[in-house]
A = this chain, B = another copy of it.
Amino acid sequence: MNARSPATLVADTGRGNEAAILNAALDAFGTAGFHGASMRDVAKRAGTSLSNLYNYVPSKSRLLAEVLRRANDELAARLRAAVDDAGDDAVSRLREAVRAYIRFIVEHQVAMVVSTNEVRYLTGADRASLVAERDATQAVFEGIVAQGVAEGAFRTPYPDDAARTVLTALGAVAGWYRPDGRLSRGQLAEQQARYALALLEAPLPH
């Protein structure tokens, strides 16, 4: 049902099977959802035994938390780097942020899907810290939008909500993107950037 290649969000950590386990968990959660995937599934995908999982991870929910944390860290780092490397104006910054976001999705689609769908099953501190990280990511976009509004580049009357909506639309791309789809990665980024700028009511031409 899911033809995407096995996820490799986590590169070898030098700690035995750890990377394999985290990537296996990502795949398992991506395929069946958090509650639909079992620790046995994860073990099988990771090529190790069920009980050995617990040498690396204390529980299923912490496994989800760890996977989501890494995905979010990676996305956040890419976004920050993209924005830093961009020009000083809001339009450039937004454009680069969108590009980076799309690149992340293309390279780590499963991670993005799991991030979107399974956060709700985190609890307590794990949930809180992930939500905080996400808010930070969202703040980056809100910052860009605020700057654009100040500069007169964006005319949306609802800057913060619009920033969130842009983020939502971007995230949703992970739900339908296919590597062999109609649009190349570049075209996809271009399209999404245009949607974002339009939604923010940046005067044409983009």
Q: Are A161 and B36 in contact (CB under 8 A)?
A: no
Please indicate which of the listed interface residues A1, A120, A121, A162 has the most CB atoms of chain B within 10 Å of its own CB.
A120
**Nearest-CB residue, chain B, relative to A172:** B168
Q: Are A165 and B169 in contact (CB under 8 A)?
A: yes
A77 to B176, CA, bound (A): 25
Within 8 A of B (CB), among A156-176: 156-158, 161-162, 164-165, 168-169, 172, 175-176
CB-CB under 8 A from A176, the residues of chain B are: 164
Copy number in this complex? 4
Q: Does A56 contact B (CB under 8 A)?
A: no
A164 to B121, CA, bound (A): 27
Q: How large is the interface on A (under 10, 10 to 19, 20 to 34, 35 or more residues)?
A: 20 to 34
Q: Which of B33, B155, B157, B162 contacts A120 (CB 8 A)?
A: B33
Q: Are A198 and B117 in contact (CB under 8 A)?
A: no
Within 8 A of B (CB), among A185-206: 191, 194-195, 198-201, 204
Q: Are B165 and A195 in contact (CB under 8 A)?
A: yes
**Nearest-CB residue, chain B, relative to A161:** B191
A202 to B204, CA, bound (A): 11
Query: Taking the nearest CB of chain B, how far is it from the CB of A194, in angstroms?
Result: 8
A154 to B36, CA, bound (A): 43
Q: Does A35 contact B (CB under 8 A)?
A: yes
Q: Are B199 and A195 in contact (CB under 8 A)?
A: yes
Q: Which of B121, B161, B198 contacts A156 (CB 8 A)?
A: B198
CB-CB under 8 A from A198, the residues of chain B are: 156, 198-201
CB-CB under 8 A from A175, the residues of chain B are: 168
**Nearest-CB residue, chain B, relative to A183:** B161
Query: Taking the nearest CB of chain B, how far is it from the CB of A206, in angstroms?
Result: 9
By a beta-carbon cutoff of 8 Å, the part of chain A in contact with chain B is 1, 32-36, 117, 120-121, 155-158, 161-162, 164-165, 168-169, 172, 175-176, 191, 194-195, 198-201, 204
